[in-house]
Amino acid sequence: MNAQEKLDFARIAEAIEYIKENFQSQPTLENIADKVCLSPAHFQRMFTAWAGVSPKKFLQYTSIEYAKKVLKENTLFDTAYETGLSGTSRLYDLFVNIEGMTPGEYKNGGESLSINYSFVESPFGDVIVASTSKGICHMAFADDKTNALEILQIKFPNARYAQMVDAIQQNAIFIFTQDWSKLGEIKLHLKGTDFQLKVWETLLEIPMGRLTTYGDIASKLNNPNASRAVGTAVGENPVAFLIPCHRVIRSSGELGGYHWGVARKTAIIGWEAVRNGIETI
């Protein structure tokens, strides 16, 4: 790291610390940029390049993490006030945009959700697939079915569960036996940060039988220095196989890790390559 890079890093570290200490006053871009002696436009570009998200998004993430703690024991109004937001409407928008659910839904742990789930066979082992009325909300390889169900229930602790196969699930698991282009017909019901959702959306654009790198995804998101943030978002993918995180490898050519095992990742990549080859003959 050269002298200029060290200076830039020190400024970004100072800005992050400033946001964390002053988020309750909801500082503006100009406030934060002035703190590190940069113009707002230059600071915006520098912060996004180093942190992988804009200063505004980082402030929102910091605010919502605090709001989630306060909300457990307080009303929406009190939570908005304690977080430094101007009212409950801003708190509502913050939760919907970042968490994919309203503050009320977060507070009750998904109590209003009805989730159907089932265990199905795939070429790579048993899979648990879960759906709401809006679409697939969870899919994971289930080597241990009891543990797989517990993980789902931890994500939505107060939802109502029914073990049954519905039309949404059936359409989703067709992906193991039909053309990848059928994915356009599958509905997903996901919650995640704006950055995570953008990463997962980019994963959906990787063709079957093709691979990409964390750096390539970061570049597509116009954040070439955000490879680590991309890797974290890829690792938190809530819908195995349908959102093809297995198609992302390291820039060195190594497969890298996989939540459900490198051996399974290798098998999936090989299986897709063969299918793609058959389909293109």
Same domain, 21 and 52: yes
CATH of the domain at 81: 1.10.10.60
CATH of the domain at 231: 1.10.10.10
Same domain, 140 and 163: yes
Work out whether strand 212-213 and strand 248-249 pair parallel, antiparallel, or are unpaired.
parallel
What pLDDT, on the 0 to 100 scale, is given for residue 246?
94
**pLDDT-derived band of residue 239, with 50, 70 and 90 as boundaries?**
very high
What pLDDT, on the 0 to 100 scale, is given for residue 98?
66
Q: Is the pLDDT confidence value at 151 over 50?
A: yes
> What domain range includes position 64?
3-107
Write out pLDDT tens, residues 155-202. 888 788 999 999 888 888 888 776 555 555 778 888 777 788 889 989
Same domain, 39 and 122: no
- Out of 52, 78, 107, a domain closes at 107
- Out of 130, 158, 185, a domain closes at 185
Work out whether strand 248-249 and strand 125-131 pair parallel, antiparallel, or are unpaired.
unpaired
131 DSSP β-pair partners: 116, 136
CA 65/CA 46 separation, integer angstroms: 24
CA 253/CA 165 separation, integer angstroms: 39
CATH of the domain at 165: 3.30.160.70
Counting the structural domains of the chain, the total is 3
Residue 203: exposure state from Cβ atoms within 10 A (0-12, 13-18, ≥19): buried
CA 168/CA 54 separation, integer angstroms: 35
- Out of 185, 202, 222, a domain closes at 185
**pLDDT-derived band of residue 253, with 50, 70 and 90 as boundaries?**
confident
What pLDDT, on the 0 to 100 scale, is given for residue 149?
94
Same domain, 211 and 155: no
Q: Is the pLDDT confidence value at 245 over 90?
A: yes
**Whole-prediction pTM value?**
0.61
Q: Which residues are catalytic?
A: 245
Q: Is the pLDDT confidence value at 281 over 70?
A: no
**Closest by CA position to 55, among listed 89, 20, 84, 24:** 20
